[in-house]
Amino acid sequence: MRSGVARATYDDVNLILKLYEIRRDDRMREARRWFSASFKVKTFEDFTKLCPPGSEPNASYRMVTTYWEMVASFLTSGPLSPELFYHSGRELLFVWERVRDIVPAIRESSRHPRELKNLEDAAAAYITWWNAQAPGAYAAFSQRVRG
């Protein structure tokens, strides 16, 4: 244990490498590229215009957010070392910054109060960690991502 934090294991490393490998899938890369360039919504109305059901943008949105929700579940449920992940997993925060404004409306619309909850909780923990490591860095990152 280092500074009260459990040491990462080889299983943690292997899981991170596997998650990286999944991100390299051609369709996933396309979805991530679209999300980064085009998903800059601030309201649920903006979201429904950009990502109507059945559209390619909707499929890309779902691919990116469900992937990061899955990764976040590994962090919030314990199989993945958060500290090790935080050193290379900033894309999780990027995705959270892009969706956080619309999550309440998505939850209401879907009648699913836990929609993207793992992503929200993992992002909150990551932000706390990052602020302890480098005060001000997260705020600067958030401002860049959110515009």
Confidence check: pLDDT of 4 > 90: no
Query: pLDDT by residue (tens digit) across 93-114?
Result: 999 999 999 999 999 999 999 9
pTM, to two decimals: 0.92
What are the structural domain ranges in the chain?
Answer: 10-146
Secondary structure (DSSP) of 38-101: H----SHHHHHHHS-TTSHHHHHHHHHHHHHHHHHHHHHHSSS-HHHHHTT-HHHHHHHHHHTT
| Predicted confidence (pLDDT) per residue in 72-85, tens digit | 999 999 889 998 99
126 by Cβ neighbours in 10 Å (0-12 / 13-18 / 19+) ranks as: buried
Backbone angles phi, psi at 58, to 5 degrees: -65, -40
